[in-house]
Amino acid sequence: MSGKKLKVLEGHDVNVFALAFSPDGKILASAGGATAGGRNTVRLWSVENGKELNTLEGHKSQVQVLRFSPDGKVLASGSMDQTVRFWDIATNKKVKTLQGFGMNLSALAYSPDGKILASGTGSSDVILWSLASGEKLKTLKGAAYPSTALAYSPDGKILASGSMDKTLHLWNTESGKKIKVLEGHDGRVSTLAFSPDGKVLASGSSESIRLWDVVTGDEMKMLKVDNFYISLAYSPDGKVLAFSGGSHSVHLWDIENDQKLKILEGHKGSVSTLAYSPDGKVLASGSSESIRLWDAISGEKLKTLEGYNASNGLAYSPDGKVLAFAGGVNVRFLDVFDDRELKFLGGHLTGIAALAYSPNGSMLASVSEGFNKIRIWELNSAVHRLLYEFSPDEVEAALNFLWEIKLDGLEIIKAETLRPALFPHLGRHITWTDETRKFRPLLEMPRLNETKLDQLVRWLEGRKAYRKTPAGLPAH
């Protein structure tokens, strides 16, 4: 990391109080106080060329916090005017305003599914908001000082909040109750991140990165740093943590002995993806301009693959022979031994956010940004084919509906009725709304020689939430 100034973005004529990068790293949002004309603006900038893309106006007081939605389509801005405004990045128009925060906003976090917004205020309360209705769902009380950072666990069941008093709080998002208070930082907690399995919470302040056991609340490790890194990869044996983010270098941390092992330098762009080979001997790092392979023990650079954009995902095949990567809407494959590009898979309409091989390497899952589409591909030496794709939110909602009403032993409701469906022995009923009415066909009797699962798949296909290709769709 050279420390060299890359660009100067000019446009604000007062202090800048908040910054946020879009998930794909292409847009930087900035917010300042009132201009000479009394306007409190949010500005959008192109990271690539430094040009101002647009100015968002509407807040009546200083904007203090900015957060992009997980899919990067919406920007939330929190202000001292006690509102959060949501902006459509494509149209630059305000799509929603939440009011009633009572005191100044200090932190924001989206739930993993993008349906709930958590906000921290100057009153020390953390509030959970429904983004569909704009209603306040819960108020989390019990912290002594205002929140300075918020983060959801991968399953959305736990919310972590960092505070000005150098502590962290863990909250049960369903009950709203405080689970634990974590203490140890010497400075206010400014950043939070959960491990992919949700078992470890990383917290960053100006003096350290600390790893916490989410179940016990115990501090596991501490690393003195002067920055915070966001791209993480554990070695297969769990002994080394590779991390990077925002810089052109990769750092290796010996977790067991609390020592920095190596700094791997050479990328010309920010390193945003990391992946260890299955045997742990090679570490792959990806940026928008190249993929680099490193000896995971010595830190020696083994290979540089120029011209490949791997900013969105990296994954080794289980046998370690093929590296799958994504930097846009396509998945591409490289033979790691002779550097040959093997194939590419297309079809996603939005950028790819994650890649994962099946344990035996016969299939690959690719997830689009916003997690609105998952594609499952069959992989073999002759041809790669799309097996099926589905919308996880639709599948989850249907399964939750069927699980809640427990169909076994109940009379099937006739399709033509729209009266409430009563389930006396459960002490509940279904009220048919625009949201629940779509599930009504699932209460019909399955067709002849059709199982309930067959019926569910047929319903999902009708909603274009599931698609299976009988012969498989060949890759390009």
Name residue 353's amino acid.
A
The most distant pair of C-alpha atoms in the chain lies apart, rounded to whole Å, by 73
Rounded to an integer, what is the distance from CA 217 to the centroid of its chain?
23
Q: Mean per-residue pLDDT for 422-450? A: 68
DSSP3 helix / strand / coil % (the chain, rounded to 5): 10, 45, 45
Residues of the chain with pLDDT > 70, as a percent, come to 77
Please report which confidence band the pLDDT of residue 332 belongs to, taking 50, 70 and 90 as the band edges.
confident
Nearest to 331 by CA among 285, 277, 377: 377
Q: How confident is the model at residue 266 (pLDDT cuts 50, 70, 90)?
A: confident
* Predicted confidence (pLDDT) at residue 174 exceeds the cutoff of 70: yes
Query: What is the pLDDT, as a whole number, of residue 216?
Result: 92
DSSP codes, 29-93: EEEEEE-TTS-EEEEEEETTT--EEEEEEEESS-EEEEEE-TTSSEEEEEETTSEEEEEETTTTE
Question: Which amino acid, residue 50?
Answer: G
Sign of CA dihedral 179, 180, 181, 185: negative
Q: What's the pLDDT at 408?
A: 42
pLDDT value at position 11? 60
Mean pLDDT, residues 211-232:
74
CA pair distance 245, 270, nearest whole angstrom: 7
| 335-345 residues labelled b (16+ CB within 10 A) or e (exposed) | ebeeeeeebeb
In the structure, what pLDDT confidence band is assigned to residue 475 with cuts at 50, 70 and 90? very low
As a whole number of angstroms, the distance between CA 248 and CA 264 comes to: 9
**What is the distance between the alpha carbons of residues 322 and 278, in angstroms, rounded to a whole number?**
11
Asked whether 29 and 19 are in contact (CB, 8 A), the reply is: yes
- Angle CA 32–33–38, to nearest 5: 125
How many helices and strands in the chain, by DSSP H and E?
2, 39
Average confidence (pLDDT) over 15-27: 75
pLDDT at 81: 74
Residue 314's SS3 state is strand
Of residues 381 and 416, more confidence is placed in 381
Cβ partners under 8 Å of residue 21, min gap 6: 27, 28, 29, 47, 68
Q: Give me the amino acid identity at 325.
A: F
**What pLDDT sits at residue 383?**
66
Position 158 pLDDT exceeds 90: yes
Confidence of residue 6 (pLDDT cuts 50, 70, 90): low
> Tell me, what DSSP letter sits at residue 106?
E
User: pLDDT at residue 8 above 70?
Assistant: no
DSSP character string of 107-164: EEEE-TTSSEEEEEETTS-EEEEETTT--EEEEE---SS-EEEEEE-TTSSEEEEEET
The dihedrals phi and psi of 460, each to the nearest 5 degrees, come to -65, -40
- CA–CA separation, 54 vs 44, rounded Å? 5
- Of the pLDDT bands very low, low, confident and very high (cuts 50, 70, 90), residue 413 is very low
User: What residues contact 101, with CB distance under 8 A and at least 6 apart?
Assistant: 78, 82, 83, 84, 119, 121, 127
**Is the pLDDT confidence value at 476 over 50?**
no
| DSSP 8-state secondary structure symbol assigned to residue 442 | G
What is the average pLDDT value for the chain, to the nearest integer?
Answer: 76
Give percent above pLDDT 90 in the chain: 4
Q: Report the candidate in 205, 264, 195, 204 with the shortest Cα–Cα distance to residue 232.
A: 195
This prediction's pTM: 0.49
Domains present along the chain, CATH in parentheses? 16-199 (2.130.10.10), 257-391+470-474 (2.130.10.10), 396-467 (no CATH)
Check residue 198 and report its DSSP letter. Answer: S
